[in-house]
A and B are shown apart, each in its own frame.
Chain A
C-alpha cells in the first residue's frame, strides 16, 4: 500500500510522456491511480526519465506482480498429452467488462452461444473474475460492488444456469456475491443441469479487493467432473500458500483460474509449476476506468508451457482438448 502511494506520488510529480505511463500501468496489479489526465505532455525521453523509470520498476515490484524467476525460469519443456487417461474440452474466455451488469450478461451469453455452436464438444467454459461488472471502480468501489452483487443462487446464476442447461455445458465465472450483507469475491460453477455445482470465495486479497469491501474466506473448492479433479482459484489466490498446499495434497488435475490480472504475461506459468497440473486462465481485457488489463489468457500444461492462448488484448476465446494423465 505504502509503495503504491509512493508510486502514485512519483508518477504525479514527474511528467512522463503518455506511452511511458501506460507502459507502467501494464506492469502493475495495483497501479490504480495513474490516469490519463495525470499524464504530462512532455515528449522527450531523456536520461532523467530513464533513471526515474528504472526506479519505478523497483517500486512496482511491491505490487505482488512478479513471482520468483527461479520458479518460472528456463526453456519451455514439452508435454505429451496425446495418449491421456482422460480427455476434456475446455474453453477460456477473455472478456471486456462494462459497468452495466445486463450488458455483461448479454456479452457472456453471446460467448457461450458462439463457443457451443462452433465447438459442441466443449464441456466447460471459463469466464474471468467479477465478470458481471468492473473488478474495481475507483470512484466508489464498495458502493459499486454492492450495486452489482447478487446472491447465489440469484438472477444472474439463473440466467447463466439456463444457458448451461440449454447447451449441456459447465459454466464457471466470477461475480460479486452478497450474503447476509457481506460482500464476497466469488467464483461460481454451474453444471449442465443449470444448478450450482460449487461456489469458491477468494482467499488471498490485493488492495483492490479490500477497497471494494470484499470479505476474504479461507476456503478451497475441489470438484470432480468426468472423473477429473478440478480446483477453483480466483486471481491472487494463486499466491496463497495455504491454498496451493490444499490443492497439492488433493492432487488436482486441472485448475480453473478466473483472473482480473493487470500484470504481464509470463512465458511459463508458475502456478502450473507449483501444482504440476493443467491451469486454465480466463482474464479481462481493456480499460476499466484507469486500470488496464493486458488480456492474456490461455491453457497451460503441467510443466507451465502454454498450449493455447492469446495475448493480443482483444476479446476472444480459446478451446483446447486437455489430455489428463492421472496422478
Chain B
C-alpha cells in the first residue's frame, strides 16, 4: 500500500521514514513475544508454587450485616431494607469455601421474623467465579495481558505483582435459595425455591473480607401447606414487580477468612 501511494508523493524521504518505523515496530513485537514467553514461564512457576502453599484455599465465614434491620412489614424499612439485604432477614450466617483461587462455594442461612406475623427461614447455596483469578490461571489470557503490559512499558516487577494470585476481586455466580415463610397466626407455611445470579466485588484486608454483591432473581417455584392448594411457578425478577419488572437486590457482607 505504501509503495503504491509513494508514486503520488513527491518527498520520498517521508515514505522511507514510515517504512523504517513499521519495520522497527515489527522487530519490537517479536522481541516482546519472546520476552512474554519467558515471563510467562516465570509466572507459571510462581503460580504453581503458590498453588502448593496457597493461603487462598480454605473456609470463610461472613454475615449479612443489614439483615437484622429487615424485620418490618411496611414503610421505609420494607422498601429499602429488603432491597439492601437481598431479602434476607434476622440473624444470618454464611459459610463458604475456596476450592481453587477462582471458585468458591457458599452456603447462606438466615432466620428472622416479620411484624410478629411471619417467621422466615432462608437457605441459599451456590458458587462464585472470580474473574481476575480465572485470568491468572489461564495461560492464553495471561500471555495476552503480559504482552499488553509490556507494550505499555511497565516494569517486570509490576507485571509480576499483577499476577500475584488474588483471592478477591470481581466475581459472578449462581445461587439457589429456599425460603420458608411461616405465618404463625394461621399456622400456614409458604415455600419458595428461587434461582438467582450474583455479581459482586470481594475486598480482603488481612483476614477480613468485605463483600459487596448484586443479586438478580430469575424465577420462583412456590407452594403452600394450606389445604386445596397446588404449586405454581413463574418468572420472578423483582421484589417489587408492581414498580418495575426487573429490580436486582444488593447485600453487604463482612466476614473472616480462616
Chain B residues contacting A93 (CB-CB under 8 Å) are: none
Q: Which residue of B is nearest A244, CB measured?
A: B117
Name the segment of B56-64, B165-173, B188-196 touching the other chain: B188-196
Return the CB mask of A158-201 against B: 1 if under 8 Å, else 0: 00000000000000000000000000000000000000000000
Return the CB mask of B1-32 against A: 1 if under 8 Å, else 0: 00000000000000000000000000000000
The residue that A274 contacts in the complex, of B77, B183, B219, with Cβ under 8 A, is B183
Q: In this assembly, does B143 line the interface, its C-beta being within 8 Å of a C-beta of chain A?
A: no
Chain A residues contacting B181 (CB-CB under 8 Å) are: 70-71
Chain B residues contacting A64 (CB-CB under 8 Å) are: 74-75
Name the segment of B91-99, B124-132, B233-241 touching the other chain: B233-241
- B242/A68 in contact, CB under 8 A: no
* Chain A contact residue count (CB 8 A cutoff): 42
Q: Which residues of B from 61 to 85 have beta carbons under 8 Å from A?
A: 70, 72-80, 82
- A81/B186 in contact, CB under 8 A: no
Q: Which residue of B is nearest A245, CB measured?
A: B185
- B185/A244 in contact, CB under 8 A: yes
The residue that B242 contacts in the complex, of A70, A248, A266, A325, with Cβ under 8 A, is A266
- A303/B243 in contact, CB under 8 A: no
- A80/B230 in contact, CB under 8 A: yes
Task: Give the CA-CA distance A265 to B242 in the complex, in Å.
Answer: 6
Task: Give the CA-CA distance A180 to B73 in the complex, in Å.
Answer: 36
- A239/B73 in contact, CB under 8 A: yes
With contact pairs A66-B79, A76-B234, A248-B186 given, residues A71 and B229 touching in the complex (Cβ less than 8 Å) = no
Least Cβ distance of A188 to chain B in Å? Answer: 27
- A68/B82 in contact, CB under 8 A: yes
Q: List 18 A-B contacts (CB under 8 A).
A: A61-B78, A62-B76, A66-B74, A66-B240, A68-B72, A68-B78, A70-B82, A70-B87, A74-B190, A74-B220, A74-B222, A75-B192, A75-B220, A75-B234, A77-B230, A241-B115, A275-B185, A325-B227
